[in-house]
Structure 1
Amino acid sequence: MTTLRHGDRGQDVRVLQQRLNQTGAGLYVDGHFGDATEIAVRNYQSKIGLVSDGIAGPKTLAALAGADCSCLLRHSTLATAAARLGIELAAILAVNEVESLGSGFLDNGKPKILYERHIMYRQLAKPRHSDDNVAELKAHAVELAASQPNLVNPRPGGYVGGTAEHQRLANAKLIDDTCALESASWGGFQIMGYHAVRLGYASVQEFATRMAKDENEQFEAFVRFLEADPALLKALRAKKWATFARGYNGPDYERNLYDTKLQRAYQRHAAGCSMPEAA
């Protein structure tokens, strides 16, 4: 679905303006996404509780078309997180815009996941009790890697994307439920399951259940991830975008311009947060 933002022009913007007018925006329908349209988008998002970022993305457009928004990320969730973390709201909005997948769920209602076969290999070989035989665990992982390399493998890969990742996960759960759930990244921020207990969840099973509930639960996992990494949280508080991007995205962050994208998104949101509401 198209994403419309400040500066865009065309028929899609005209349709957006018409739909906003149906909610009482009072826009002049000219096909230009200017300041008035951005304010109207923010007002509509605030009215229905969506993240108020002034961008008419798939969630906002779907809401305008009458879709159910009950599982979507709420603006109040971001505002509460900003206060909890001691971070400027505009910075939280920027991170949500740049670092999330946009939506935490697939069209069939299941949470977005990515199953990592090399993590499964590692988790299967990981001792969990004092009497675990490390050599036997490793041998078992090696054996499974030989017989089911798409599910257990010392090398990453085998990705199929979308709903098919859930089938890979289901097959991996037949080998070991806990290791399989730990070996998938979950939701809009792709938090790995093996972090679950460290982030305060009773088990990875509880974590997976909550990731399947709604995007607000998925964002809660991201907030806990920040709280568990003082250096990352400090960088975000100070708006040191390169430091944050390096910590969150890894050494390739520059190639994808994550720091630049974060800075630009923050500047836009900082300006947007001070924009007056439309009369």
Structure 2
Amino acid sequence: MKQGDTGDAVRVLQQQLLSTGYGFPLVVDGWYGESTEEAVKDFQRRKSIVVDGIAGPKTLALLSGKADPGFISHFDLERAAARLAVPVASICAVNEVESRGHGFLDDGRPVILFERHVMYQRLAAKGIEVEPISRRFPNLIHTARGGYMGGSAEHMRLAAASQIDRDCALESCSWGLFQIMGYHWQALGYATLDEFTTAMRLSESGHLDAFVRFILSEPPLLKALRARKWADFARLYNGPAYKDNLYDVKLARAYDRYATTEGAAA
């Protein structure tokens, strides 16, 4: 939920904010206005998570008492901005638009997406005869994208693929908040594949670290991010379909919003 929203869900949010001891005037009226946004920001500051005034899954989880030390913090975003030599507003925008919003499932496992076409490529690169296996397990190994099941079911696909080849399966997943592919582990400076996957299982700050490493390993992406050429960044990060989802427009708008709030662009 964000400013401008209305309804019972907003009313519940306002009641939860008041129950935390928020000390400013806040009327429970079901309208997500400026006072509600400020109350959300105040709560986010107190919990040391990203301060964006948006009541997303992490904010709502913490309001419900589901504390998670693995949540990414504003300090993490500031540190990432320093490493990439970009305004904090740029990292905030990328985190809002390009991340999945929550790096972990409710059961504590990292969000993943198993890519069957990558599994096909990784097996073939090892000299394995792929076609017979692909015919038996088309949902796990295929030349085309797809077969997605989402959520915890993606871990089931990973487990099944691991029975065929564990390393290829782990390398064939996108991991965490920023969907970093496993096969990048060596280029990103991890000592082993297991070091990468362990980092992905520990915390969202580990997901952000992988994102920073990925941007640093791709000079065109880093150049686009530093210049705030959002169309170039979105095309390089998401592929040619970025226009369908207006990623460049969303990034530009998010940056402008963060750049005008309490020193985000400093």
TM-score category of the 2 structures, normalised to the smaller one: over 0.9
Instruction: Tell me the distance in 1 between the aligned counterparts of 2:12 and 2:97.
Output: 26
Which residue matches 1:130? Answer: none
Question: Structure 1: which 5+ runs fail to align?
Answer: 128-136
Which residue matches 1:73? Answer: 72
Pick one of 256, 263, 273 that aligns with 2:252.
263
The answer as to whether partners of 1:27 and 1:37 remain within 8 angstroms in 2 is: no
The answer as to whether partners of 1:90 and 1:273 remain within 8 angstroms in 2 is: no
The answer as to whether partners of 1:54 and 1:272 remain within 8 angstroms in 2 is: no
Instruction: Tell me the distance in 1 between the aligned counterparts of 2:52 and 2:171.
Output: 33
Which residue matches 1:45? Answer: 44
The answer as to whether partners of 1:173 and 1:181 remain within 8 angstroms in 2 is: yes
Deviation of 1:22 after TM superposition, in Å, equals 2.6
- Please tell me the root mean square deviation across aligned C-alpha atoms, in Å: 1.6
Q: Structure 2 length normalisation: TM-score?
A: 0.93
Deviation of 1:73 after TM superposition, in Å, equals 1.1
Instruction: Tell me the distance in 2 between the aligned counterparts of 1:84 and 1:274.
Output: 18
Whose Rg is larger?
Answer: 1
Which residue matches 2:59? Answer: 60
Instruction: Tell me the distance in 2 between the aligned counterparts of 1:24 and 1:220.
Output: 34
Which residue matches 2:209? Answer: 220
Aligned-residue sequence identity (percent) comes to 54
Instruction: Tell me the distance in 1 between the aligned counterparts of 2:136 and 2:14.
Output: 56
Which residue matches 1:27? Answer: 25
Deviation of 1:69 after TM superposition, in Å, equals 2.2
Pick one of 176, 183, 190 that aligns with 2:179.
190
SS at match of 1:254: helix
Deviation of 1:12 after TM superposition, in Å, equals 2.5
Give the counterpart letter for 1:68 in structure 2. A
Runs of 4+ in 1 over 3 A off after TM superposition: none
Give the counterpart letter for 1:264 in structure 2. R
Structure 1 residues 82-134: Cα deviation after superposition (integer angstroms, max 9, x where no partner):
1111111111111100001111111221111111111111111214xxxxxxx
SS at match of 2:209: helix
Structure 1 residues 154-201: Cα deviation after superposition (integer angstroms, max 9, x where no partner):
222222221111111111111111111001111111111000111011
Distance 1:61 1:126, change over 3 A: same
Moved more, 143-152 or 189-198: 143-152
